[in-house]
Every structure is written in C-alpha cells, then in structure tokens.
Structure 1
Amino acid sequence: MLLDHRWRRWRARWARAVPALCEACGRWPDGPLCPTCQRDLAPLMPRCPRCALPRPAEVPFCASCLGREAPPWTQVLARVDYAPPWDAWVAALKFRGRLGLAAPLARLWLDDPALDALLRGCDVWLPIPLAPRRLAERGYNQVWALMQALAAWRPTPCAWPTALQRRDDAPAQHRLDRAQRLAQAPQLFALDAHAAHRIRGCHVLVVDDVMTTGATLQAASAVLLAAGARAVSALVLARTPRPGSPASME
C-alpha cells in the first residue's frame, strides 16, 4: 500500500512537469490542450446563474429555475458541459493523476466574460475538499490544482485548501444517484475550527470541478452561511447536462 501511494505521488509530479501533445488534435508543443482546440471545443453559451445549465440569452434564468425558490448561493458560473470531450479530460485529471491538465482546463474560465466580476466580488476562495482517506490515496485534490492554476492568471485574495472538511465516512459523490446525493448532503462537510472567524462577514467563492445535482454546493453553502459568511458564490469547471438534452446524449 505504501509503495502504491508513492507511485501515485511520483506519477502526479511527472504529469505536472512533462509537457504532452494536445489531447484533441495531437499538435506539439502546445501542451495537453492547445488554445485552438480549447476555443473550438468550448464555445461560450448563456448559463443560468442559479443552476449553471444553459438558458436562452433573452431571459435571466432557465425555465426550471423560474418560479422556484432561489438556492442558498448567490450565483454559480460553469464553463463547459460535463460531456465529451471534457468529461474524459476532467476524469483524467481527477482519477488518473493527469495534473498537467489542470492549467489548460482552468484556462477555460478565462474566456468567460463573467469571471472577473465574480472573482472581484469574493473575499475568500475555498475548494471542495476530498475526504482525508481519499486524499491520502490520490495524493492531491484536483480542485485545488485547478485553483492554483487559475491563481497564476488572477489574483487570489485568500485561498484556504483546508477550511472546508469532508467527512471521511461520506461516500464519493460520483458513485451516487441524484436522490442519494441530496439525502447525504447535510452530513457532507464541516468547517475547520480556525476558519469560522476568517470567513465571517465574507463573500466566499466555492470552487469545484463538476456540478451534477447541486447537492455538494448546497451542503457547502449551508455550512458557510451558518458560520457567518455574508454570501456564497460558486465557480465550477463543468456542469452535468440535463437528462435528455443533446449534450447528455453525446
């Protein structure tokens, strides 16, 4: 087991250090995702600020969110659908130690004209954490890797990787269906004992790689608002498409 953990850490360091061909077009030496492919494969589209699903440009919210009670977060910004090719690349970063993908994936956020206004309004950036046991197995938190990459291009007021803490006995979200995710959400997170006074009165930005049902964001927002945060917003890389939508069938 110890040898396996050492191998995972060595592989993660190697993936971060060594450049690669573009995953989409195979060009060299543009890196894991070349700028041309990022532009062509990730077109900007209007998204609902409540659920991050696509919406018509002429309305402020998607049809599902109109008339529904507002979520506890102020807004959520997502860049791409969690669908081909992005789902495979996010999974490679998340599960296979491909840390070299963190920077090109984080760079997708820079194309969104709403990004800078969102970041300016937030005082603290917090990544969605892994459970301690899973972090020990994987050797890294892919969300923190995305945040570090983004911070190279945008100033970070305060980023705290351990402020939110995930229960070690909570099952991995990607293994659960919608009902299970929503049911376990209230027990997902706790706040670090030293973090409460730091986030009191702050507008907190919660960062995650994938938003599926919103249960994770709901749980994180509840903990932060209960601790005195003034507001919570979210930045996610990918949004799982609505079932039955064209993106969900790719």
Structure 2
Amino acid sequence: MRLPWLQPGDPFPDPARAWDERQPAPGLLAAGGALDVDTLRRAYSNGIFPWFSDDQPILWWSTDPRMVLYTGEFRLHRSLRKTLARLLRDPGFEIRFDHDFARVIRACAGSPRNGQSGTWIVPDMVEAYVNLHRAGYAHSVETWIDGELAGGLYCVAIGRAVFGESMFTRVPDASKLALAALVAWCRQAGVALIDCQQNTSHLASLGAREIARADFVQHLARVTPEETPRWQFLPVYWNALLRMPASE
C-alpha cells in the first residue's frame, strides 16, 4: 500500500487506512504535512500522532489496537503509595502544572526510551509542542522536591481527551508521581482515559490496556468537543487515589 504524502493543510486520511501488521510499519498513516498548532489539534482529535526521527520526514501514526489507561483502573503500587504518603508530609514536595513546560519537554527529549539510542523528540517537535502549549493544548505535570524539578511529563489535552506523550525522572519515582497526579486530576475532571499510544510492559503494569482503534476514535468524537477542564492541581485530588486498594 502506498503511503499518502501530505502537503501543509491537507486533511488526514481516515485512521482506518493506516498500515496493518502485513505492512512494514503497522500504524503508519501518512507522511509530510506540518507541525503547526491547527494540524496537531486536528491530528490528535482523530487519534493520529506524529513520531519520527531527525533523518525522516514528519510521519503520522494511528496504532491499532490503542494502548490507553482508564483512570479508574490505575494501579497505585504499594511502594509508590508509601513514597507518596511520605512526601505528602514533606513541605518541600509539590505537584505543579505548566510551571515550566519548555524545561519539561527538553528534559524528556534528553531521556531516550529503553532500547533506543536517541530520541524521537527532535528539535522540530520541541518547538511544535511549545507552540501547542502556548495555544493551550499541551501541558506539563511536574514533580518538585525542595525547589528542584525532580521529574515530570507532558501531554496533549483537547476537551476532555488527554494524550500522554513522554516523561522523565531525576529522582526515583518522580515521573511515576507525576503520572499519578495526572490520573488524580483526570478523575476529578471527568476524564475517563489517558491515551498511551503504544503498548509497553511499564504502562501495562500501571493498569493500561489495549482497545480497538475504532473504539478509541469514537471516544474522541464524544469528548474532544467538550469544554476543557481547568488545568490546576490541588493536593485534595490525591484522596481519590489513596482510597483505592493497594496494588502489588
């Protein structure tokens, strides 16, 4: 199957046309186009995301099945629960939203994923998502300890849809605490699931699972037109997670 080549502003193909397991890159939908705010917003609203290396054109993906984390199924493992309980007694511990988005995404770019020698968060992607943040569609969740940025993540949010992108850590469990904070915020904001894009054992250990792409796209059609909740974290949001049964 020939891969569609997009010009800036072109509509995306139907995600159902993405390459399947019989093709060399399952989930690959199109190449080309641009990384401006409107294009990224249209892409995410339709279950499409960019992922490419420095030596490649812009590549657009829509994986099937799709890995998602239902916020009611998040596993707060016993060890992380103990860390959280300890830090909640520490006045130096704080979760901040959007305090320094650019710093977070650059830290993520400097933290290659397991098994990768480089990063997919190339300079063009950093610039694009900083612009997306300025437009109100990308956010950072940051773990601060004693005035230092210890870890965090960034994500895309449209309406009541949240798309996880990448995380980094400088202190053990700091990125996991940022994810737990995002889940806690989602639960109080009425966000049912967080998109995780692709299956990894780490995500599965936290409760994420695969669903059909068609179901995911239908979910987006329902929730992306809704009003976006306020991106603000309050410590009281932890209560819902701490009331959940502990997971090993």
Task: Kindly indicate which of the two structures has a greater share of residues assigned to strand.
Answer: 2
Task: Kindly indicate which of the two structures has a greater share of residues assigned to helix.
Answer: 1
In the superposition, the TM-score normalised over structure 1's length comes to 0.28
